[in-house]
Amino acid sequence: MYLILALLGLPLLTGAVFFVFDNLKIKYAFSIIVAAIHLAAACLVFSGSNVPDFEQWLRFDALTKLFLLILSNVYFWVMINSYQYLFFSPVAKPEKSRKIFYNMTNLYLFANTLALISNHLGLYWVALESTTLCVAPLIYYYRDKESLEAMWKYLFLVSVGIAFAFIGILFLTLSMHGTDAFEKGLYFSNLIANSTKFNMIWLKASYIFIFVGLSTKIGIAPMHPGEVDAVSNSPSPIAALISASLGGTALMGVLRMLQITSKTPVYQFSQIMLIVGGMASLIVTVVFMFRLNNYKRMIAYSSVEHLGIVVLGLGIGGIGFIGAMFHLIYNSLTKMALFFMAGNIHRNYKSREIHNVFSLLKDLRWTGILFLLAFLAVVAMPPFGIFFSELMIFQGLLANGQYVLLSAVLFFLLFIFIAMSRNVFKMMYGSTKINEAEINQTNKPFDEKLNITHLSTAVILCVLIAMGLFIPPALYNTVSEIAKSFNF
Amino acid sequence: MSINLFFWGILIQSLCAIIPLIIKNENRYSFLSHFGALLGIVFSLLGTIGNLVFGSSGLIYIGFNPYWNSLNFRFDSLSTFFVLLIQILSIPALLYSFSYQKPYIASGKKVKLYVFSFIMLIVSLQLLTVANNAVLFLVFWELMALLSYLNMVFENEKSEVQKGSFIYFVATHLATFLLYVFFLMLHQITGSWNFSEFHLVFNSTPQYYLLFALGFIGFGIKAGFMPFHFWLPKAHPIAPTYLSAFLSGVIIKLGIYGIFRVFEFLKPTDPILGWIVLAISLISAIFGVWYALAQHDIKTLLAYHSIENIGIIGIGMGIGLIGMAYSNQTIIILGFAGALFHTVNHAIFKSQLFIGSGIIYQNLHTRNIEKMGGIIHYAPWLSVFFLIGSVAISGIPPLNGFISEFIIYNSFFKTAGYFGNYYPIFMLIMTVGLALVGGLAVACFTKVNSIMFLGLPRTELKAFHVSRLEYFSLGILALMCIFIGIFPQPVIAFIIAVLQGMPIVNSFGNDFSVISSAFPAFSPFTMIFLSLILFMTMTFLFKKFLSRKSRIAKPWGCGYQHLNERMQYTASSYADELNLIPSNILMIKKDAVVPEDIFPKAGGHFHSHSHDFAEEVIVRPVYSKIIKSINRIVFLSKNDIRVYIAFILIALVSYLAFAFFWKF
Amino acid sequence: MEKLISVLIYLIFIVSAPLFIGIVNKLKSRLTGRLGPSIFQTYFDLKRLLRKETIYAQSASFVSRIAPVVSFSSILFAGMILPIGFYKPLISFNGDIILFAYLLGLSRFFQILGAMDIGSSFEGMGAAREATFAVFAEPIYFFTLGSLAFIFKFTSMYDIFHSISLNDPSFIIFIIVSAISVFFLMITETSRMPVDDPNTHLELTMIHEVMILDNSGLDLFLYQYSSYLKMLVYATFAADFFNPFNVQNHIIGFLLYIIILLILIGNLVWIETMMGRFRMKNIPRYLLFAASIGILNLLIYTFFNK
Amino acid sequence: MENVLNILFCLSLLYLATTTRVDAYLKVFVLQGILLFFIVIMPLINRPSVFTLILPVTILLVKAIMIPLYIRKKIIIELEVKRNIESNLQQFNFLLLTVFSMIAVFISSNMLAKYTYIDAIPFAAAFSTIIIGLYIIIFRKKLIVHVIGFLVIENGIFLLGISVASEMPFLIELAALLDIFVVVFLMGIAINKISSTFSVDDITALDELKD
């Protein structure tokens, strides 16, 4: 019982209480404690201690355990780095946006955890909608034109998307009509148990609506722009939070629907939908990667690409499915590392344009190296985990005999690699076009002290390498349990 | 026992790599890490030799991953050969890198990252050749590419360094993608990740040719065969010289190691594959050396020579492949022995030439040979070592280059002998091709030596500082060249031992008496070359004794007394006639301003530059076409919210239509 | 005993090298109506050079001191491989045709370096031309000798030449074809008339002469002697193709060898007096022509002899 | 009786398609709120228990009174917004589009009604409301109109919920309504900020975020 309290009660309470306080230091301390407790609870849940399911309202199967661990891990790291960020971020009128920062993050944690562990589709929907509401003011942190526009677009697009998801839920109830499951209501356990008795047409329609609706939040093309604008204009801890954890929660809905349709003839269709979604996001990323000049936007598009690969892996099934699960874990870690370092660069170079940032390796010694390592992680260089998960997904593609698809994926990945490395290396070394000497006088010297963001990024990268080569047995068991529940 | 000695050595090296990150003082950590790594290499060298002598082909497990099962290492004969090559070559490379970085440290450049990545590069190379699990192999393969990239950006202020290293990084990444598919398909067919289980019967797998193509092109890009070599002339000149010496001496050989593994996995029994490999290698050899002839930048020239030597190694492997197709053991042995021997030779003399050019670069700060000249008067010993290197590389008798080309010539004659019908004609073409390559190499290296070292210095030269350490590393390599040239027997015995261990050789019957008969007799060589050198010293002493008086005077020059350095032959004029023949392939662009009036005033100038065919005609247009077509997809880029909502509607409608009209 | 005879033959070969050129000059002057120098004039020149003082250029380094020695001794060793007068040569093992070609390559390498060492544009021009024509000479050698090696499946000089038996008519075609291309190889390598005029003194036209322009005294002695030796080596190489009726008796063999040499001299002199020089630009084209003849006889063999 | 209310709902949609003035949009939205109230009340007439009445009353309260008041007070009066809604598609084409889509929806819902257990008219009405709501968002420039379009979509979804007579637990319905209200509330604040920072409140101003 105390686990539920830790997971849900505490964040809600602190979120509400903080409306009264406005001393930032206490708020920071409190939210770190809450985050730590939440992480401890998530680990306990992950390692199998049983939790009451509130007469079917909550559900703790392997999938929720994994996603819960990802969420709390991301939230913990973001909270640690948020204070460092709040004080130095270049904001015109900081105190107004700082006041509501910690309230919204705690409420976000509450809504997100509720969405993950809810067993009822409607409850999941409401929690997802409330996460959007919590995140919207956080995006508007900088209080300038871009962040306002990003917040508006994100809010509008995602709420329209989620409205379509609600239509999907209604279609699901329609498909349940006339069967005994109808009385038992929209509980996942009930839906998964007797999904074979549903009406196939409505099930297919509900799958489409839910997939399209939720993909605005996950960031799968062609519904990705809202997500990309939000991530590229929000402060970097929030950007890390959105791209690392929010994508996963929305993906939970799609996974649940996949689970429901897994025993029915609609399964092949839902897999094709996922593959199409995955490929579309890869194409979109390739197209935009060559045209952009803002490194935060570049990282946003790389998260669209990686979530596209995850969805592609889910659509393939078998070893590809397992690869997609690992890819999700590794992607959340890499995104955090990338965004923290991007935050550092933004703070020192005061601009998000790539051509204004140069000789990173020389001036910001630590940030440069860590940003380079994070970039190598995101581009699937071996010691880091993403290389192994992508290899599993390629293996799944081959097992299905999709040679054409595999070569297309490799082609896109190569060109994304070319575009991204061109941008990152332009930032890394001295810019040859502008005469470096007179530029240096203007914004020198950078304060390159070793602060907490560097330490946390370094720890994240080490965890990424360790988890890449030697997968912990608990994780292996959970992932194979999930695979069994999707009957692979 | 010897295996954990090897791993102890690796441990020491990686520790020394981490030293620079701890110690602050530049000179101290550079000294400590370099000589610590040397100690580590000696340890692992003893380990490899130990287990070669005692022979242990067991698997060494370092961990278990649920999806890639056992991550293990194996010391089979081929990997021991390449590990030994890497370890022997890394000794002079490390010595030279230490002295190369000294002036840079003095001028206050932070070399922490580069020392770390160079030593880790050596460690990852050694582990790469010994890795037995495909995923572990891929991990170390990418690590090698990454670390050599990190090392290549030593002087990253210059834009050409940024461009060249970027092209290198993308090329290796492209090669790795091909290898992903290659190893995944092999895993799918054989169901295991270990190299030892990757052997496949030829006709059982439909995708056999696809697999061969993937493997060959994947490793060929790294080795530098002609059509996929575009990154090599871009990456070598900009890399710091100790890295380019190591890159072309050792890292390219890993492409060859990979191709040997491809032969081992697929055991090709179709001679056409052999012919394809032969054709590609002949083209790489001939055009490699012809491009080298047209270059003015010493390191690009040496890079193209690496392509030529890789071509010669490829010819040896092609012959071996044909032998495998007809399962005739003598041909296999001759072909592969020639290839392996030339790998050793090339690693030795190419590192020597690169180190020499590096020393010159450090003193003259230019790589353009047209600005050099007359260095022999300032650094005689350096020019002696460079001369030995260039005589060896063009395959001239007393030195080691000749021995490996001799084996390959013999394999031509033996192949023509064994298989009747058209083989003699093709083998004749191969012999003449190789002879042409030899002739061009002679022309190219006479050009390089004479323009750089002999004659009058084109830019005034003051002091020419070469540290004792550099002389020592050049000395080791020169001695190796001469020793192998005159006493090839020990290296031949070692290569025969390696060949016996290779499954592709011993699976066609293992009565190794046939091997000794297949090999041409090497005993006369030692006798001939020794007497040749003895005769030369005798005549030289005789000449010195007989000519009682010799005088130094102005060069004759048919009576014109005021010879100055601008009247000398330059590199482009020397090679001009030879470059005219394939001028459209070499794509030589000449811009010359010729003063017309009778008494011409100053201002005339001549500059010729050759562009790389593969890059200008294949890589650049394809790349720009793809980028153009990507940018043409513009409709996605309107950032108006109504367009986003319209996307949602369109996606919804199209999915619904697709769902209800799709028949399943 | 066998070894002793071949050593003796080899010594005669070395001593008589200048004589060969002497006879050629004598015959040439006779044909052009001049009395011409005595056939031993070349020996006198060599003796004169021995006494002369060797002068080195300022810009010359140790390379120009060792270059004549290396090129002289490598041609000497190349001579050892050739079966002179159909005798078993001093060095003969499987694959010595490759050693022969590359030894000549070694002498060429150091001769070019010696020329470039002085740093004057004349030597540079000679060296560049020498390097270019050498690139085309090697294919001719390998085409002719290689095709014979493939036909007879031997790779040693002595075995190849001994397996040519002229009594079988199809072999006569091979011999004639390869003789033409080898004759052309001889002319290019030893810089005789159609490719390069040996006794011209107009620097712009010289190839071989200009490389040794700046050498004097003992160096010139060594270079002159090695060019005479090279001439005799290529003449013997050309002569060896005509091993008539696989004669066993050595004395008759040696006499036959001398007769063939004289015929060769006649040929050489005839061409030198009759023909002018080729233009420098299209010499590579002639060399390629000579090389393509070589491949002809292999085609003949493989296709007709099925 | 429900069918009559649904048809009235479709009529309100058609009216939406024709008007060009903003406060007309608002009036139609209020009408739809009232219609929804009656549709929900209709089946509950025969068993009037307080508990079941909470839902329709909240719908009436939220949809008919609170949101319109909020929009009218906060947006139209404070910002003296220009009356007409600029649209980037002539009115006539927009009307044609809505009519065609409604026809298509009605045909397809009849076809569906044969196979599966749904009654055609309410389903068609709900679905066409959703689609028309989308058209309003896509083809109008004003931000307020976008909000109203979003609310029309919410009405459509609610109508769909009722027509499917889903046993959605009471708490979830209420939470959904609450969510919608908060979203509109946030959008209202956002529009305030946009019109103050961008000085013009139609969508074309929002193109700062280039790649």
Q: pLDDT tens digits for A119-167?
A: 888 889 889 988 988 898 888 888 778 888 888 889 888 888 988 998 8
* Confidence band of A174 (pLDDT split at 50, 70, 90): confident
What's the angle, vertex CA D120, arms to CA D114 and CA D124, rounded to 5? 130
Q: Which residues of D touch A174 (CB under 8 A)?
A: 116-118, 164, 166
Smallest CA–CA distance from D150 into chain A, residue? A160
Q: What is the pLDDT of residues B163-204, one digit of tens each?
A: 889 999 999 999 999 999 999 988 888 888 888 887 765 556
Q: At what angle do helices B252-266 and B112-130 cross, to 10 degrees?
A: 20
Q: Which residues of B touch A407 (CB under 8 A)?
A: 181
Q: Which of B456, B562, B452, B542 is nearest to C60 (CA)?
A: B456
- The reply to whether residue B450 touches residue C138, judged by beta carbons under 8 angstroms, is no
Which amino acid is located at B409 in the chain? Y
- The one-character DSSP state at A196 is G
Structure tokens at B599: 């008494």
Is the minimum CB–CB distance between B398 and chain C shorter than 8 Å?
Answer: yes
Lowest mean pLDDT among A170-184, B25-39, B70-84, B263-277: A170-184
CB–CB contacts below 8 A, A to D: 109
Q: What is the pLDDT of residues B637-648, one digit of tens each?
A: 667 788 888 888
Q: Which residues of B touch A470 (CB under 8 A)?
A: 63, 65
Q: Which residues of B touch D86 (CB under 8 A)?
A: none
- The reply to whether residue A153 touches residue D179, judged by beta carbons under 8 angstroms, is no
Judge whether B38 and B118 are in contact, CB under 8 Å. Answer: no
Where residue B502 falls (left for φ over 0; alpha for ψ -120 to 50; beta otherwise) is beta
What is the C-alpha to C-alpha distance for residues A297 and A225, in angstroms, rounded to an integer?
Answer: 11
* Confidence band of A53 (pLDDT split at 50, 70, 90): low
User: What is the domain range of residue C185?
Assistant: 2-304
Judge whether B336 and B505 are in contact, CB under 8 Å. Answer: yes
- The reply to whether residue D169 touches residue A133, judged by beta carbons under 8 angstroms, is no
Write down the pLDDT at residue C204.
Answer: 65
- The reply to whether residue C116 touches residue B431, judged by beta carbons under 8 angstroms, is no
Smallest CA–CA distance from D88 into chain B, residue? B642
- The reply to whether residue B569 touches residue C132, judged by beta carbons under 8 angstroms, is no
- Testing the interface with B: which of D137, D198, D201, D202 to mutate, by most B Cβ within 10 A? D137
- The reply to whether residue D118 touches residue A174, judged by beta carbons under 8 angstroms, is yes
Q: Which residues of A touch D153 (CB under 8 A)?
A: 160, 163
Q: Which of residues 625-664 of B touch D (CB under 8 A)?
A: 637, 639-642, 645-646, 649
Is the minimum CB–CB distance between D172 and chain A shorter than 8 Å?
Answer: yes
* Residues of chain D scoring pLDDT < 50: none
* Confidence band of B220 (pLDDT split at 50, 70, 90): very high
What is the C-alpha to C-alpha distance for residues A77 and C200, in angstroms, rounded to an integer?
Answer: 88
Smallest CA–CA distance from A292 into chain B, residue? B637
Instruction: Give the one of B639, B646, B649 whose C-beta lies nearest to D209's C-beta.
Output: B639
Show the 3-state SS of A227-243. Answer: HHHHHHHCCHHHHHHHH
Judge whether B444 and B396 are in contact, CB under 8 Å. Answer: no
Smallest CA–CA distance from A284 into chain B, residue? B636
Chains with at least 3 CB pairs less than 8 angstroms from chain B: A, C, D
CA distances from residue B452 to A150, B364, B572, B606, C120 in whole angstroms, order as listed: 63, 11, 13, 19, 15
- The reply to whether residue A170 touches residue D166, judged by beta carbons under 8 angstroms, is yes
Write down the pLDDT at residue A302.
Answer: 93
Q: Which of A107, A97, A150, A149 is nearest to A129 (CA)?
A: A107
Instruction: With a threshold of 0.90, tell me whether the complex ipTM lies above it.
Output: no
Instruction: Give the one of B63, B68, B659 whose C-beta lies nearest to A208's C-beta.
Output: B659
Q: What is the mean pLDDT of chain B?
A: 84
Q: Which residues of B touch D150 (CB under 8 A)?
A: none
Instruction: Give the one of B640, B646, B649 whose C-beta lies nearest to D203's C-beta.
Output: B640
Judge whether B231 and B341 are in contact, CB under 8 Å. Answer: no
Instruction: Give the one of B138, B644, B664 whose C-beta lies nearest to A157's C-beta.
Output: B644
Q: What is the pLDDT of residues B337-348, one digit of tens each?
A: 899 999 999 999
What's the number of domains chain C is made of? Answer: 1
Q: Which residues of C touch B395 (CB under 8 A)?
A: 102, 105
Q: What is the pLDDT of residues A95-107, one digit of tens each?
A: 777 778 888 888 9
Chains with at least 3 CB pairs less than 8 angstroms from chain C: B
- The reply to whether residue D134 touches residue B640, judged by beta carbons under 8 angstroms, is no
Residue B303: Cβ within 10 Å count? 30
Bond into A445 cis (ω within 30): yes
- The reply to whether residue B646 touches residue D206, judged by beta carbons under 8 angstroms, is no
A–C contact: 3+ Cβ pairs < 8 A: no
Write down the pLDDT at residue A445.
Answer: 52
B/e letters for B30-49, b = 16+ CB within 10 Å, e = fewer, are bebbbebbbebbebbbbbbb
- Taken in order B400, B401, B404, B405, the sign of the CA dihedral is negative
Structure tokens at B438: 């030899």
Is the minimum CB–CB distance between C210 and chain B shorter than 8 Å?
Answer: no
Judge whether A474 and A47 are in contact, CB under 8 Å. Answer: yes
- The reply to whether residue B177 touches residue A471, judged by beta carbons under 8 angstroms, is no
In terms of DSSP bridges, do strands B550-553 and B588-593 run parallel, antiparallel, or are they unpaired?
unpaired
For residue B343, report the phi and psi dihedrals to the nearest 5 degrees: -60, -45
Q: What is the pLDDT of residues A86-95, one digit of tens each?
A: 776 666 666 7
Q: Which residues of A touch D168 (CB under 8 A)?
A: 122, 173, 186
Q: Which residues of B touch A381 (CB under 8 A)?
A: 142, 146
pLDDT beyond 60 at B55: yes
Chains with at least 3 CB pairs less than 8 angstroms from chain A: B, D
Q: What is the pLDDT of residues C106-146, one digit of tens each?
A: 998 998 888 888 878 888 888 888 888 888 888 888 888 88
Which amino acid is located at A192 in the chain? I
- The one-character DSSP state at A93 is S
Q: Which residues of C touch B410 (CB under 8 A)?
A: 94-95, 155
* Confidence band of B428 (pLDDT split at 50, 70, 90): confident
- The reply to whether residue A212 touches residue B659, judged by beta carbons under 8 angstroms, is no
Write down the pLDDT at residue D112.
Answer: 79
Residue B108 burial (10 A CB sphere; 0-12, 13-18, 19+) = exposed
Judge whether C193 and C207 are in contact, CB under 8 Å. Answer: no
Instruction: Give the one of A129, A159, A291 whose C-beta lies nearest to D150's C-beta.
Output: A159
Instruction: Give the one of A133, A155, A170 whose C-beta lies nearest to D161's C-beta.
Output: A170
Judge whether C166 and C183 are in contact, CB under 8 Å. Answer: no
Judge whether C77 and B535 are in contact, CB under 8 Å. Answer: yes
- The reply to whether residue D203 touches residue B642, judged by beta carbons under 8 angstroms, is yes
- The reply to whether residue A212 touches residue B639, judged by beta carbons under 8 angstroms, is no
Write down the pLDDT at residue C247.
Answer: 64
B–D contact: 3+ Cβ pairs < 8 A: yes
Our CA-based measurement puts residue A413 at a distance from the nearest CA of chain B, in whole angstroms, of 9
Smallest CA–CA distance from D150 into chain B, residue? B645
Question: Which pairs count as long-range contacts for D68-73, CB under 8 Å and 24+ apart, including other chains?
Answer: D68/D26, D68/D29, D68/D30, D68/D33, D70/D184, D70/D185, D70/D188, D71/D26, D71/D144, D71/D147, D71/D148, D71/D184, D71/D188, D72/D23, D72/D26
Strands (E), A160-206: none
* Confidence band of A346 (pLDDT split at 50, 70, 90): confident
* Confidence band of B425 (pLDDT split at 50, 70, 90): confident
Structure tokens at C216: 């004097």
pLDDT beyond 90 at A279: yes
- The one-character DSSP state at A364 is S
Lowest mean pLDDT among A25-29, A333-337, B256-260: A25-29
Percent pLDDT > 90 in chain C is 3
Our CA-based measurement puts residue B418 at a distance from the nearest CA of chain C, in whole angstroms, of 9
Is the minimum CB–CB distance between D92 and chain A shorter than 8 Å?
Answer: no
In terms of DSSP bridges, do strands B59-65 and B69-74 run parallel, antiparallel, or are they unpaired?
antiparallel
Smallest CA–CA distance from C122 into chain B, residue? B557
Smallest CA–CA distance from B639 into chain D, residue? D207
Q: Is the pTM of this model over 0.90?
A: no
Q: Where are the domains of chain B?
A: 570-610, 613-661
- The reply to whether residue B66 touches residue A273, judged by beta carbons under 8 angstroms, is no
Q: Which of D68, D66, D90 is nearest to D24 (CA)?
A: D68
Which amino acid is located at B597 in the chain? D
pLDDT beyond 60 at B664: no
**Mean pLDDT, range C266-292, rounded to an integer:** 82
Write down the pLDDT at residue C202.
Answer: 67
pLDDT beyond 80 at A367: yes
pLDDT beyond 80 at C27: yes
What is the C-alpha to C-alpha distance for residues B421 and B415, in angstroms, rounded to an integer?
Answer: 11
pLDDT beyond 60 at C284: yes
Q: Which residues of D touch A120 (CB under 8 A)?
A: 169, 172
